[in-house]
Structures are given as C-alpha cells and as structure tokens.
C-alpha cells in the first residue's frame, strides 16, 4: 500500500510552510522592521490576511483536490495563461527566497556547532549552502510522502524553540524579576508611519503567506477534501499564537535596536539562558532545532513550486525533459535545473559586504515578488464564487456567497496595499533608493515580462488558444 500524508503530517507541513521563527526577529528589529509596533501588526494581519487567506486556500483545495494548488485554482477561474503566470511568479519568488533561507540556516548551524563567528564568514555560508541545497534537492525528488519525515521534524524544530523563547522570556521577567528590555506603552506599540514601517508590513504579510503550498501534494494526501481544511485550521491557530507571543517574548529579552534579522532569535535565547543560569549547551541545542526546521522548509519548498510550474502547466511550454515526472510525480530534472540556478545566485550574492546584508536584501526582494500570486489567487476565488455558485464545496468559508466574496475582496485589497507599500522608497539616500527601486520594482517587471515572453513563445510555436473553457490546439 502506497504511503500517504495523514492529518498530522499535513499539520506539520503547514506549520513548516506558514511559520518561520526567523520572522519574529525580522519584524521586531528596529533597523529593518517595526520594533514594538510588530506586536499589534501581527495581531491585525493575522485577522485581516492570514486567517482569511488560509480559509480560502482550504476551500479551494477541498473543491478542486488536484495537484497544482495555485495553478489549478487560477486556471479554473481565468484559464491556462493566468495559471501559468501564477506558477511562474510563485517559482521565481522562491528562487530568491531559497538563498535568504539558506543564509538563516547556516547562521543556526554555526551556533549549533559552537562557533557563532562562522555566521559572518561568507565563504562558510556560501559553500555549505550550496552543498545542503543540492543534498535536499535530491531528497525532494522522492516526493512528500517521503519528505514528510523532514517536515515533521522541522516543524518541531521551529515550534519548540519558539515555545522556549516565549516561556523563558516571561519566566525571566515575571518570575525571576529581570528588568524587561522594552516598555509596552501605547506610543511604543503604535507602528511608526514611515516608509521603513510600510515596507516591513509586506514582510509580515510574506511571513503569513504559504497556505497554498501544501495543496501541491493533494494526490499524496489521505482524504484531502477532509484533512486539508482541518490541517489548515489547526495550523492557523498554532501559528498565530506563536508569532504574536514570540514577538512579545523577544522584546522582553532584547531592546529592538539590538535585534538583528539573521541572529536575533539566538542572541535573545542566549541572553535569557544566561539570565536563568543555563549553560551554553542550551543555545547549541536550540540552534540545532531551528536548523532542522529550516531543513524541513527547504525540502517542502524545493519541490512544491517546481511541481506546480513544471509538473502541472501545459506540455510544450518547457522542454519535455523538464516536465517529465518520476515515479513520485516530481519533475526531477527541473529540480536539478533549479539547484543550478540557486547555486549561481549564491555565488553572485557573495559579493555583498556581509551575511546580514545578503539576508535583508533577498528577503526584501522576495517579500514584494511573492505577493503578486495572491492577487491572482484572491481574484480567482472571487470569480469562482460568483460564476459557480452551485459548485460542490466540501468545505467553504461561508455558505452565503456574498459573505465569502466580501472576505475575498477584503484580503485582495490588503494584498494590493501590501504591494504598494513594499515598493515605497525606504533608503536614506538617493543612491540607496535608486538601488532599492531597481531591486523591488525593476526585478518584478523583469520577472513578469519574462513570464509573458515564455507564454507568447509557446503560443507562437503551438498555435495554442483558449476560448472560454475550451482549449484549442
């Protein structure tokens, strides 16, 4: 009997897809985030973006239980062209995300082996990032029924350190009487109305995105129409609490100007461990756990966008060797092509002045690019609820179509606002803003244009055209 992905496997996969302990430090760092303003921001966006988007993905996955996720849902609403574009945008965003994620992984590996100075050694980060990405690229070709081993362990590796951060932070301050590093006044908690805060909001939204990821493995799931929505809901409740309480805890331990994006979590845990008289072994163990969580995320995210883009879109868009799937339904050669591209990017960014700079630049780029597919996702949901009111929906946000459409419109507006805010100039100099805009807007234009170019080339070669719901070749 073929191994299946069960309910709790799905919960762990969604935790890996939707929760990253690194975002707690990223959001609360005053240098690149919201400072204490991150705490109410997390709460607001959990309700206006995270929960509704997760529920929308749960409804779509239950209604259209096929591999492909975003691609299938957008295709149902707008056809193959838009299905391809959302797959293309999702994959290209992940390409840059891999590199930032690998940087964060190596920071935690350096702490786990007791040599935190390696976190700032660009050559160490570069070499081992390449080795690890290739290793897990090979593993990801075995499918998520096998890869769930890593996502299950990874989910625990992310959740447990966050729970420890929360527990130890509150114990240190409210039981042992250590002075809190932050003052939680209304003024301090109110997000600053400046361009840096506006840009950071998109980072929060990016951190809360990813509910669509696990839908790419529907055919490997046990009872997907029942278990997928349930897993999403369980994971959503868990993740929302971790982000909010984690942000409070880290700012109890460290002032926001001492929090860095890549090392903030480990520095906070090391600080509170010292305050509580816990030895250095603790931080090594925690760093190992976080590293395992990153590994779980890498395994999931290596194959998911690849499966959507190369494994689901129309044959003929890409060469057959890249779209041919193996016995695990994974386009194996496309996975290796992706590994080559990521290797090239890793080599290129090695020219940046520091590891933290690499991390911040890449996350900034990814935060904007990764939000575009959600415009198509929520637009598709709205259209499908409007045009197919009698569709059989095993799970739905609301039986009332007007209510469901209203929720879809709300989240769509939130995403559009997030994209606009992300593109605002956030640097202190004209030169800095020019570079920033090239990265954010110019990069997005190039990605979108290249996607359309690939599609138009396919149409010219094959004579493909779509008429309403019918495909003509």
* pLDDT tens, residue by residue, 53-86: 888 988 898 888 777 788 999 999 999 999 999 9
Q: Is residue 29 part of a domain?
A: yes
Q: What is the DSSP string of 200-240?
A: HHHHHHHHT--TTGGGGGGGGBSSHHHHHHHHHHHHHHHHH
Task: Enumerate residue ranges in the chain where pLDDT < 70.
Answer: 1-3, 32-33, 145-147, 195-196, 216-219, 262, 351-369, 424-428, 436, 439, 467-473
- Domains held by the chain: number: 1
Are 13 and 169 contacting, i.e. CB atoms less than 8 angstroms apart? Answer: no
Q: Is residue 266 part of a domain?
A: yes
Q: What's the half-sphere exposure (Cβ side, CA atoms, 13 Å) at 217?
A: 35
Q: Is residue 138 part of a domain?
A: yes
Q: How far apart are CA 17 and CA 300, in angstroms?
A: 7
Q: Tokens representing 423? A: 């593109």
Q: Is residue 435 part of a domain?
A: no
Single out the residue of 74, 41, 72, 80 nearest to residue 375, CA to CA: 74
Q: Is residue 13 part of a domain?
A: yes
pLDDT tens-digit map of 119-156: 778 888 888 889 999 998 998 888 776 667 777 777 77
pLDDT tens-digit map of 209-252: 877 777 766 667 777 777 878 888 888 888 888 999 999 999 99
Single out the residue of 172, 60, 144 nearest to residue 407, CA to CA: 60
Q: What is the CATH number of the domain that holds 71?
A: 1.20.1740.10
Which residues 6+ apart lie within 8 Å of 181 measured at CB?
251, 252, 253, 254, 255, 258
Q: Tokens representing 332? A: 């194996």
Are 311 and 323 contacting, i.e. CB atoms less than 8 angstroms apart? Answer: yes
The angle subtended at Cα 302 by Cα 148 and Cα 436, nearest 5°, is: 135
Q: Tokens representing 21? A: 């302990």
Q: Is residue 470 part of a domain?
A: no
Question: Does the predicted TM-score (pTM) go above 0.95?
Answer: no
Range of the domain at 107: 7-425
Q: How far apart are CA 23 and CA 104, in angstroms?
A: 11
Q: Is residue 389 part of a domain?
A: yes
Q: Is residue 146 part of a domain?
A: yes
In sign, the C-alpha dihedral spanning 340, 342, 345, 347 is negative
Which residues 6+ apart lie within 8 Å of 336 measured at CB?
137
Q: How far apart are CA 183 and CA 177, in angstroms?
A: 15
């Amino acid at each position: 009997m073929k191994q299946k992905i069960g309910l709790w496997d799905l919960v762990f996969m969604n935790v890996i897809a939707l929760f990253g302990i690194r975002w707690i430090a990223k959001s609360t760092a005053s240098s690149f985030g919201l400072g204490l303003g991150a705490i109410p921001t997390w709460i607001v966006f959990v309700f206006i973006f995270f929960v509704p988007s997760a529920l929308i993905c749960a409804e779509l996955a239950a209604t259209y239980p096929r591999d492909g996720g975003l691609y299938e849902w957008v295709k149902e609403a707008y056809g193959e062209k838009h299905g391809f574009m959302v797959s293309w945008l999702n994959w290209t965003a992940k390409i840059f995300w891999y590199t930032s994620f690998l940087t964060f992984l190596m920071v935690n590996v350096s702490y786990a082996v007791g040599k935190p100075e390696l976190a700032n050694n660009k050559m160490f980060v570069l070499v081992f990032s390449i080795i690890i990405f290739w290793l897990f690229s090979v593993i990801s070709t075995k499918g998520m029924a096998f890869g769930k081993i890593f996502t299950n362990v990874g989910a625990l590796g992310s959740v447990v350190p966050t729970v420890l951060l929360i527990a130890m932070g509150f114990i240190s301050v409210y039981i042992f009487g250590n002075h809190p590093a932050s003052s939680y006044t209304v003024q301090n908690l109110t997000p600053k109305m400046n361009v840096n805060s506006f840009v950071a909001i998109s980072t929060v939204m990016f951190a809360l995105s990813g509910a669509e990821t696990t839908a790419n493995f529907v055919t490997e799931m046990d009872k997907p129409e029942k278990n997928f929505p349930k897993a999403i809901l369980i994971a959503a409740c868990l993740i929302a609490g971790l982000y909010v309480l984690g942000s409070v805890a880290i700012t109890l331990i460290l002032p926001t100007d001492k929090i860095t994006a890549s090392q903030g979590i480990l520095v906070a845990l090391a600080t509170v461990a010292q305050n509580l008289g816990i030895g250095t072994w603790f931080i090594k163990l925690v760093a190992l756990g976080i590293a395992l969580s990153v590994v779980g995320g890498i395994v999931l995210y290596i194959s998911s966008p690849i499966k959507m883009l190369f494994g689901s879109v129309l044959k003929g868009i890409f060469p057959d060797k890249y779209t041919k799937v193996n016995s695990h339904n994974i386009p194996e050669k496309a996975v290796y092509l992706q590994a080559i591209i990521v290797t090239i990017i890793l080599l290129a960014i090695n020219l940046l002045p520091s590891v933290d700079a690499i991390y911040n630049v890449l996350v900034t780029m990814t935060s904007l690019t990764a939000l575009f597919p959600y415009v198509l996702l929520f637009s598709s949901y709205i259209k499908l609820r409007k045009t197919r009111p009698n569709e059989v929906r095993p799970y739905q946000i609301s039986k009332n179509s007007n209510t469901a459409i209203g929720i879809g419109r709300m989240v769509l507006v939130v995403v559009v606002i997030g994209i606009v805010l992300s593109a605002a100039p956030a640097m202190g100099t004209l030169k800095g803003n020019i570079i920033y805009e090239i990265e954010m807007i110019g990069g997005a234009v190039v990605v979108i244009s290249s996607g359309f170019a690939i599609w138009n080339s396919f149409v010219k070669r094959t004579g493909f055209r779509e008429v309403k719901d019918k495909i003509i070749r």
